[in-house]
Amino acid sequence: MKIIFAAPKLPGRGAVAVGVMAGTTLSPSAANLDKATGGALGRAIKGSRFTGKKGQLLEVLGPPGVGVSRILLAGLGKPGELEDVDLENLGGSIMAQLQASGAREVAIMVDAIGQFRRKAPQRAARYGFGALLRSYRFDKYRTKEKPENKPSLAKVTVMVQNPAAARRAFDDLEKIAEGVFFTRDLVSEPANVIYPKSLAREARKLGKLGVKVQVLGTAEMRRLGMGALLGVAQGSDNDPQLVIMRWDGAPKGRGAKGRTRRGPIAFVGKGVTFDTGGISIKPAAHMEDMKWDMGGAGVVIGLMRALAGRKARVNAVGVCGLVENMPSAKAQRPGDIVTSASGQTIEVINTDAEGRLVLADALWYVQEKFKPRAIIDLATLTGAIIVALGHDHAGLFSNDDRLAERLTAAGKAVGEPIWRMPLGESYDKNIDSDAADMKNVGARGGGAITAAQFLQRFVDKGMPWAHLDIAGVTWESKAKPTAPKGGTGFGVRLLDRLVADHYEG
């Protein structure tokens, strides 16, 4: 989708979108159009339930007296209350309304009036960002889609005074969108296309942007003693991979004045390219969803792309454990005891609780090699988090209140909300084993929490750590304003924001 910024001018064709405030107060652009159309907008509003409430849309087709084919009235609510994410949502809703409408282009008019919290160029950039995010489609395998069902919209022009400033504000957002799209592509690809080696190959492409990418195979992981990750992988003909991505964007030379340089911020992703459950095999219904069980790794890879794309002034490392969880004659069995790289032993009660086994060794690796200042892991880890929070919040677990608060605030700011869940000794006891240091499942209740407790056993004392269980938010069966149904890329914008707000220097 082409997103362009230009000086305001009423277009002679296509669609035009204009703002209307609460109580149906027309923005200057809307008022001009109302006049040019002999009051068609006022009449349309009168004949409808459109009030100008935030997010409302009213489409006026074939307006008289102007060249455009349709006018889209967009409810702004009370301008002083509009957040960036509201503007993005509005841009996304305009995209959704027009994408397959027959309109080929739309001009979004952004008025330079003072009641908003942000200046017009900043607002323009947010409209463009939201429209771009919603325009995403994963349609590469649809060879027979009828032309009349394909998107018609090809171009969005956001019209604003000082379009150059809007374009500048959009530059970073466009890079973030590229990261989100990369993640969406990776989770949407089926497991015969994306398996550990091909996913590692995708990650390697970040080398072009200046990310240093290293990939470990089975032999190297065996040398490191990664028995937990390798145990999951052993049932598959697809060899596991550990992908390590480094973006060193922090200004050099800092810390020279006696201050010891702090380690990178670390992101760790669960990359189970397909989760059959292994010998503890899953039921057939919806098993196809398990192609996106590499969603955590997908976010880490997309995030690294966003950070490198916008040249974030941060040192960040991403580590993804990539495996396929299959049943076979070589697969690990319930009751097997594996030794993780940390030295801790694990009794594998259920081979379907595999994500935590993969993360255990990935968490050890990132701490051993990078001494990070903080770790955030992402994983489609449990069905239990969906029972607890549904599809609207990701689950947050953390040993560090400040990190948890920062993540929560970042999620709120970008419209990727997360909800903090408890950790504690009484939950931790649940995964004590009689045969080994721990077992990989707890009691029936609190399944997302015991999974997090398991991960915490692999986090060094004093290391700020947060775990995001994204099982409920990685894939959506209903569209959201800035995400069509399917892979969401949830987490890329949140973590990019966290980095921008707290870790760039």
**Taking CB under 5 A as the rule, does residue 293 contact Zn ion?**
yes
Q: Clarify whether 356 is annotated catalytic.
A: yes
The amino acid that residue 143 corresponds to is T
**Taking CB under 6 A as the rule, does residue 481 contact ligand BES?**
no
**Are 273 and 293 within 8 A, CB to CB?**
yes
**Taking CB under 5 A as the rule, does residue 275 contact Mn ion?**
yes
Residue closest to ligand BES (Cβ): 383
Q: How far is CA 59 from CA 21, 50, 163, 441, 470, in A?
A: 16, 10, 26, 53, 36
- Using DSSP bridges, classify how beta strands 337-339 and 25-26 pair: parallel, antiparallel or unpaired: unpaired
437 binds, among ligand BES, Zn ion, Mn ion, none (CB under 5 to 8 A by kind): none
Position among 130, 355, 415, 487 found at the interface with ligand BES (CB under 6 A): 355
441 binds, among Mn ion, ligand BES, Zn ion, none (CB under 5 to 8 A by kind): ligand BES
The nearest distance, CB 353 to ligand BES, in angstroms, is 4
**Are 24 and 45 within 8 A, CB to CB?**
yes
In the complex with Zn ion, the residue whose CB is nearer, 130 or 355, is 355
Give the separation between CA 349 and CA 338, rounded to whole angstroms. Answer: 11
The nearest distance, CB 478 to ligand BES, in angstroms, is 16
Question: Which of 126, 134, 310, 356 is the catalytic position?
Answer: 356
238 binds, among Mn ion, Zn ion, ligand BES, none (CB under 5 to 8 A by kind): none
For residue 252 the two structure tokens come to 């050099």
The amino acid that residue 152 corresponds to is S
From first CA to last CA, the distance across the chain in angstroms is: 33
**Taking CB under 5 A as the rule, does residue 494 contact Zn ion?**
no
**Taking CB under 6 A as the rule, does residue 383 contact ligand BES?**
yes
The nearest distance, CB 442 to ligand BES, in angstroms, is 8
- Per CB under 5 A, the segment of 114-122, 139-147, 234-242, 354-362 that binds Mn ion is 354-362
CA 344 to chain centre: 32
In the complex with ligand BES, the residue whose CB is nearer, 91 or 447, is 447
- Per CB under 6 A, the segment of 18-26, 105-113, 347-355, 488-496 that binds ligand BES is 347-355
**Taking CB under 6 A as the rule, does residue 263 contact ligand BES?**
no
The nearest distance, CB 376 to ligand BES, in angstroms, is 18
**Taking CB under 6 A as the rule, does residue 183 contact ligand BES?**
no
- Per CB under 5 A, the segment of 44-52, 349-357, 456-464, 473-481 that binds Zn ion is 349-357
In the complex with Mn ion, the residue whose CB is nearer, 185 or 354, is 354
Question: Which of 35, 118, 197, 282 is the catalytic position?
Answer: 282
Q: What is the DSSP-derived secondary structure letter of residue 483?
A: B
Tell which phi-psi region holds residue 65, choosing left (phi > 0), alpha (psi between -120 and 50) or beta. left
For residue 74 the two structure tokens come to 């967009």
384 binds, among ligand BES, Zn ion, Mn ion, none (CB under 5 to 8 A by kind): ligand BES
The nearest distance, CB 495 to ligand BES, in angstroms, is 19
In the complex with Mn ion, the residue whose CB is nearer, 127 or 458, is 458
Give the separation between CA 56 and CA 162, rounded to whole angstroms. Answer: 27
**Taking CB under 5 A as the rule, does residue 352 contact Mn ion?**
yes
105 binds, among Mn ion, ligand BES, Zn ion, none (CB under 5 to 8 A by kind): none
Per-residue binding string, ligand BES, 419-448, x by CB under 6 A, is ----------------------x-----x-
Give the separation between CA 145 and CA 286, rounded to whole angstroms. Answer: 24
In the complex with Mn ion, the residue whose CB is nearer, 388 or 441, is 441
In the complex with Mn ion, the residue whose CB is nearer, 133 or 323, is 323
How many Cβ atoms from other residues are within 10 Å of residue 148's Cβ?
Answer: 8
In the complex with Zn ion, the residue whose CB is nearer, 40 or 353, is 353
The nearest distance, CB 286 to Mn ion, in angstroms, is 13
Nearest to 380 by CA among 499, 295, 496, 282: 295
The nearest distance, CB 41 to Mn ion, in angstroms, is 54
Give the separation between CA 208 and CA 494, rounded to whole angstroms. Answer: 24
- Find the DSSP H helices in 50-207: 84-98, 120-134, 163-188, 196-204
**Taking CB under 6 A as the rule, does residue 307 contact ligand BES?**
no
**Taking CB under 6 A as the rule, does residue 352 contact ligand BES?**
yes
| Contacts (Cβ under 8 Å, ≥6 apart) of 238 | 195, 196, 197, 273, 324
For residue 408 the two structure tokens come to 């929560």
Report the alpha-carbon angle 91-95-96, nearest 5.
120
Give the separation between CA 224 and CA 216, rounded to whole angstroms. Answer: 10
| Contacts (Cβ under 8 Å, ≥6 apart) of 116 | 79, 80, 82, 123
Give the separation between CA 161 and CA 7, rounded to whole angstroms. Answer: 5
The nearest distance, CB 350 to Mn ion, in angstroms, is 8
Nearest to 496 by CA among 311, 307, 319: 307
Q: Which class for 360: exposed (0-12), middle (13-18), buried (19 or more C-beta within 10 A)?
A: buried
Position among 194, 272, 326, 414 found at the interface with Zn ion (CB under 5 A): 272
**Taking CB under 5 A as the rule, does residue 361 contact Mn ion?**
no
The catalytic residue positions are 282, 356
Residues that bind ligand BES (CB under 6 A): 275, 289, 293, 350, 352-355, 380, 382-384, 441, 447, 471
